[in-house]
Amino acid sequence: MIGVGALVAAAAVAPTLPSYPLTLLTQVAIMAILAMSLDILLGYTGLPSLGHAAYFGTAAYAVGILATERQAGFLTCLVAGVLLATAAAALFGLVAIRATGTYFLMITLALGMVVWGLAFRWVSLTKGDNGIAGVPRPDLALPWSLAAPLPFFYFALVAAALAWAALGTLARSPFGLTLQGIRESETRMRALGYDVWLHKYLAFVISGGFAGFAGVLWAWYNGFVSPVDVQLVTSVETLLMVALGGPGTLAGPALGAAVIVFLKNFVSVYTKRWLLILGAVYIGVILFAPRGVLGALRAPRR
Amino acid sequence: MDDVELAVRPGERRALIGPNGAGKTTLFNLVAGALPVTAGRIELFGRDVTRMPSHRRAALGLTRTFQISNLFASLSVLDNCRLAVQALTAAKFAMHRPLARDAVLRARAEETLAAVGLADRAAATVRNLSHGEQRQLEIGLALAGRPRLLLLDEPTAGLSPAESAAMARLLGRLDPAITVLIIEHDMDIALEVARHVTVLHYGRVIADGTRDAVRADPTVREIYLGA
Amino acid sequence: MTRIRLVASVVLLALATSLAAPVGAPAQSAPIKIGFLAPLTGPFAQIGKDMVNGNQLYLAEIGGQVAGRKIEVLVEDDEGNPATALNKSRKLVEQDKISILTGGMLANVGYALQPYIDAQKIPTTYPVIAADDITQRKPAKWIVRTGWSTSQPMHPFADWVLKNTKYRKIAAIGMDYAFGYEIIGGFQQVFEEGGGQIVQRIWAPLNTNDFAPFLAQLRRDADAVLALFTGRLALQFVKQYEEAGLKGKLPLLGGGTITDETVLPQMGDEALGLITALHYSQALDNPANAKFSRAFEASAGKIASYYSEATYTNARWIVEAIKAVGGKAEDRDALLAALRRVDLKESARGPLKVDDFGNPIQNIYIRKVERVGGKLQNTVIATYPGVSQFWKYKPDEYMKRPLYGRDYPPCKYCQ
């Protein structure tokens, strides 16, 4: 409900916005996809991944390399990016899913560092810390070039809407209920006859795939890919978006993404102490709305 | 567990009793596959399941309840039941269609709720149920998958005498085809459900037989009933 | 449900209206806006502060105006993160309508901004970002570098070592990233062409905590060691080099940052005698530098470094260009042309002009750490005047070779 309202409102006001706020809204749309993908793990399955930037970044690098070195177009970049991210998640999931709680956090962190290390050190492929610049936006053979801010915003918005619809369907499906069951009680799920490992693994892979989708858009949006995109800070920020907005609700992480993108870009204009303010907001949310902003709105204190 | 040998026939109702620490729940965990077996052998419906993971044992028709309610606390009662119903169907993998539209699933979940007396609580969040209602749902989840063997771990734990009596009636109505193994501190309940009793003490079987025979056993009287 | 929808819509509308605030059209008499990016949070915050201070110092000296127009500097924190830098640039260019973009510290920020800058056609200067290719194989039309390119000081340094020392076999150790590759690579290129040999190349990770294992590997049969580190790693490497007893045995040479003035005040006798090359030294003896370094120390309360000199001179460079276009900073083509024509006869780092690729042609100083008046300084012991980023090579031939990298030039004398 809120999501549809927000999407329609965003689409309606976009043409009246100057280009800078528009690019920020575009960023919100992309980050919302990333945050929602993580929410499938964190909010629905109860798996706090600290390595989500790995799949996001893998896809971004795939696009960066293919688009600059092979002049790959829209479909190749999209498919390759999402597939590679999914494959990375499928591989890492084999290692990570055995762990639970803090150990899961640590192992996903470590795996994320592996990808960061590759991005940083595999210089012949990734250009190391210099990053890959000049990644062109795709040509969709539309009357509008995606190089301009407004068409690209609509492009990102449609992508976010599609991702939201897909993840929403997943969340409401029998499979989505299974994931929530795992979040609530693994032992009971096993006793009922669920292969808990398999369902967690599937959630992990699907989540990685959607993170990859966001990564593809990110590479096009920035026109640039660097190890920063796969580093820990990016994973942590994504986790915070989910926690801030409300895990277990897809609109929550999207809202969290909006809050963080705007906080980062507006508060920092007025004060150099913006990190402090961001920190205060996080602490405030943890203390007063542990289920996120949306969680607090939905269920007033009894 | 030390040298425990237990053979339960199909359709049998067997009570497991023994003082705290006797190893009753541990035995359940071994049978259900929640704990790994270090030595010995477990057979289920004629198959060796010693190394089989618990979810596959469940698929063979074994379900259990937990001594401390083990439910999906923040989900609705109906969703709890849906999870139990879909567990052994291929529908659990469906990602593309909304749960809400699965009428068969819903009907079976509601049927189960009615069987344990929770039909009017379907929409409630489990966290908000009373303790007694949670115990009822605990049984409901175990029954939803239509088990052949049911392990009940102290179904009346923490219940008032009136609630316990209601629980006993509920258990008395169970499909006679289901094999039941019940751990119960309340002897009246245990003996109402089961005709055959096994007594465990420090991980060993110290008595095994009909309820009257066990009641008469001097060792049992000394360490358990007499206490 | 309705309540949430209402709240969400209100928030969104409020955001949208605040964003859509009108932006006034710049008039001739309005201030000239300069957008300035620097890392003000994170590990490079200190350097970011030096950059801001150097810039402010020059603008204060000229009373904050040029050609009858006030100069307004909009400082933004880029966090040393390319995505953030890109965001902040968008804000500065598209919302604040700046006339010139400047600043930035890290190479990846430099590369990330390049396509955006060219697409927006916004005159830009890079005072600190040194990555070679920004003015070589991937030059941007709208970017003028007012600082240096990484390998620029290292070509003459190798020439100086060949001509003034007997070191012919050198072991190199550097930080494992592009800046390290370009420093060591630039030296190796000229050194080996002149008959020298790099007999070992060690790349130390940026998060190294203990250099002992690397120091143990260093070949003791080399004539000297060439090292490249920055910040904390520079302090630690030089200290551990002495502690390992290597200082007396293997003379130490370095890329300029290993003893730059952001780390030198925290070093002790272990740094004495270290020879490095850079386009600036705080101890440089010329009137412009005397004035700058005194004023900087007085206003910032710390010694000037090449970072603060870079933004100080960069501000002067920009002001000269604005003067040249008669204050019409909104004429972007004219301003860019003026930025590329700037010819400073005496700056704090000596004479400066721009080559065809947008990089300064400037003096390179060979410096030796000495203790003067109780303090360590980089005493200039030789000057290579008017050095191009291409050294003595023809630009097109130079650029046919790959960028200096982890494996280029190949280490043919390493065993």
Q: Is C3 on the interface with A (CB under 8 A)?
A: yes
- Contact criterion met (CB < 8 Å) for A184 and B141: no
Q: Is A125 on the interface with C (CB under 8 A)?
A: no
DSSP states of A280-301 as a string? HHHHHHHHH-TTHHHHHHHS--
Q: For residue range A170-223, what is the model confidence (pLDDT) as tens digits?
A: 999 999 999 999 999 988 898 888 999 999 999 999 999 999 999 999 999 998
Rg (CA), chain B: 18
- What letter would DSSP give residue B93? G
Q: Is C84 on the interface with A (CB under 8 A)?
A: yes
* List of chain B residues whose C-beta atoms are within 8 Å of the C-beta of residue A184: 71-75
Question: SS3 for C405?
Answer: strand
Residue A32 lies in a domain: yes
Amino acid B29: pLDDT: 84
Q: B1-61+147-227 maps to which CATH number?
A: 3.40.50.300
Mutate to test the interface with C, among A1, A16, A19, A20 (most CBs of C within 10 A): A20
Amino acid C21: pLDDT: 39
Which chain A residues in 33-72 lie under 8 Å from chain C, judged by CB atoms? none
Q: Is C124 on the interface with A (CB under 8 A)?
A: no
Residue B191 has pLDDT above 80, yes or no: no
Q: Is A45 on the interface with B (CB under 8 A)?
A: no
Looking at the fold, whether C262 and C382 belong to one and the same domain comes out as: yes
Amino acid A18: pLDDT: 86
- Among C19, C82, C87, select the one facing A226 at the smallest CB separation: C82
Structural domain count of chain A:
1
Domain residue limits, chain B: 1-61+147-227
Beta-bridge partners for B210: B196
- Among C112, C115, C405, select the one facing A226 at the smallest CB separation: C112
More confident residue, A230 or B46: A230
- Contact criterion met (CB < 8 Å) for B86 and A174: yes
Amino acid A272: pLDDT: 63
Rg (CA), chain C: 23
Tell me the shortest Cα–Cα distance from A195 to chain C, in angstroms.
Answer: 35
More confident residue, B94 or C240: C240
Question: How far apart are the C-alpha atoms of C25 and C282, rounded to whole Å?
Answer: 42
Q: For residue range A231-281, what is the model confidence (pLDDT) as tens digits?
A: 888 888 888 888 888 888 888 899 889 988 888 787 766 666 666 777 787
* List of chain A residues whose C-beta atoms are within 8 Å of the C-beta of residue B102: 174
Question: How far apart are the C-alpha atoms of C90 and B74, rounded to whole Å?
Answer: 44
Question: SS3 for C383?
Answer: strand
- Contact criterion met (CB < 8 Å) for A1 and C5: yes
* List of chain A residues whose C-beta atoms are within 8 Å of the C-beta of residue C15: 262
**pLDDT averaged over every residue in chain A:** 87
Range from B18-22, B144-148, C69-73 carrying the lowest mean pLDDT? B18-22
Q: Is C114 on the interface with A (CB under 8 A)?
A: yes
Amino acid A271: pLDDT: 65
* List of chain A residues whose C-beta atoms are within 8 Å of the C-beta of residue C138: 133-134
Looking at the fold, whether C317 and C270 belong to one and the same domain comes out as: no
- Among B58, B72, B98, select the one facing A185 at the smallest CB separation: B72
Residue B208 has pLDDT above 60, yes or no: yes
Domain, as residue range, for C251: 154-278+363-400
Residue A138 lies in a domain: yes
Q: For residue range B62-91, what is the model confidence (pLDDT) as tens digits?
A: 888 888 888 898 999 889 989 888 888 888
Mutate to test the interface with C, among A13, A24, A61, A129 (most CBs of C within 10 A): A129
| ipTM of predicted assembly, 2 dp | 0.85
Question: How far apart are the C-alpha atoms of A141 and A127, rounded to whole Å?
Answer: 30
- Among A177, A189, A195, select the one facing B82 at the smallest CB separation: A177
Tokens describing residue B9 = 């026939």
Q: Are C385 and C362 in contact (CB under 8 A)?
A: no
Residue A14 lies in a domain: yes
Looking at the fold, whether C274 and C303 belong to one and the same domain comes out as: no
Tokens describing residue C17 = 């209206």
Amino acid C17: pLDDT: 39
Beta-bridge partners for C350: C347
Range from A6-20, A55-69, C181-195, C221-235 carrying the lowest mean pLDDT? A6-20
Q: Is A169 on the interface with B (CB under 8 A)?
A: yes
Structural domain count of chain C:
2
Question: How far apart are the C-alpha atoms of C327 and C318, rounded to whole Å?
Answer: 11
Amino acid A274: pLDDT: 67
Amino acid B200: pLDDT: 81
- Among A175, A177, A187, select the one facing B34 at the smallest CB separation: A187
Tokens describing residue A299 = 């269920």
pLDDT band of C28, cuts 50, 70, 90: low
Looking at the fold, whether C221 and C255 belong to one and the same domain comes out as: yes
Looking at the fold, whether C142 and C163 belong to one and the same domain comes out as: no
Range from A55-59, A261-265, B183-187, C299-303 carrying the lowest mean pLDDT? B183-187
Looking at the fold, whether C262 and C396 belong to one and the same domain comes out as: yes
Strands B179-183, B13-17: pairing is parallel
Amino acid C350: pLDDT: 94
Residue A26 lies in a domain: yes
Residue C22 has pLDDT above 80, yes or no: no
| CB–CB contacts below 8 A, A to B | 104
Residue C377 has pLDDT above 80, yes or no: yes
Q: For residue range C292-343, what is the model confidence (pLDDT) as tens digits?
A: 999 999 999 999 999 999 999 999 999 999 999 999 999 999 999 999 999 9
Domain, as residue range, for A98: 2-235
Q: For residue range A113-154, what is the model confidence (pLDDT) as tens digits?
A: 899 988 888 878 888 878 888 888 888 888 888 888 899 999
- Mean pLDDT of the region B193-216: 80
- Mean pLDDT of the region C334-358: 93
- Contact criterion met (CB < 8 Å) for A224 and C138: no
Which chain A residues in 171-210 lie under 8 Å from chain B, judged by CB atoms? 172-178, 180-181, 184-185, 187-196
Residue B5 has pLDDT above 80, yes or no: no
Tell me the shortest Cα–Cα distance from A198 to chain B, in angstroms.
Answer: 10
Amino acid B38: pLDDT: 82
Amino acid B211: pLDDT: 76
- Contact criterion met (CB < 8 Å) for A294 and C16: no
Q: What angle do CA C77, C145, C299 make, to 5 degrees?
A: 55
Tell me the shortest Cα–Cα distance from A230 to chain B, in angstroms.
Answer: 29
With CA atoms as reference, the chain A residue closest to B84 would be A192
Q: Give the neighbor-by-neighbor strand order of the sheet with B149-153.
A: B62-64, B149-153, B179-183, B13-17, B196-201, B204-210
Q: Decide: C and B in contact? Rule: 3+ Cβ pairs under 8 Å.
A: no
Residue C16 has pLDDT above 50, yes or no: no
| CATH number reported for the structural domain that contains residue C186 in this entry | 3.40.50.2300
- Contact criterion met (CB < 8 Å) for B102 and A169: no
E strands, B49-185, where?
62-64, 149-153, 179-183
pLDDT band of C227, cuts 50, 70, 90: very high
H or E segment to which residue A138 belongs: none
Q: Determine what percent of chain B is predicted with pLDDT higher than 70.
A: 97
Question: How far apart are the C-alpha atoms of B133 and B114, rounded to whole Å?
Answer: 12
Amino acid C208: pLDDT: 86
Tell me the shortest Cα–Cα distance from A176 to chain C, in angstroms.
Answer: 22
Q: For residue range C252-262, what is the model confidence (pLDDT) as tens digits?
A: 999 999 999 99
Question: How far apart are the C-alpha atoms of C18 and C1, rounded to whole Å?
Answer: 26
Residue A302 lies in a domain: no
Beta-bridge partners for C354: C360
- Contact criterion met (CB < 8 Å) for B63 and A193: yes
Amino acid A1: pLDDT: 65
Question: How far apart are the C-alpha atoms of A111 and A50, rounded to whole Å?
Answer: 9
Question: Which chains neighbour B (Cβ–Cβ under 8 Å, 3 or more pairs)?
Answer: A
Q: For residue range C136-171, what is the model confidence (pLDDT) as tens digits?
A: 998 889 999 999 999 999 999 999 999 999 999 999
Q: Determine what percent of chain C is predicted with pLDDT higher than 90.
A: 79
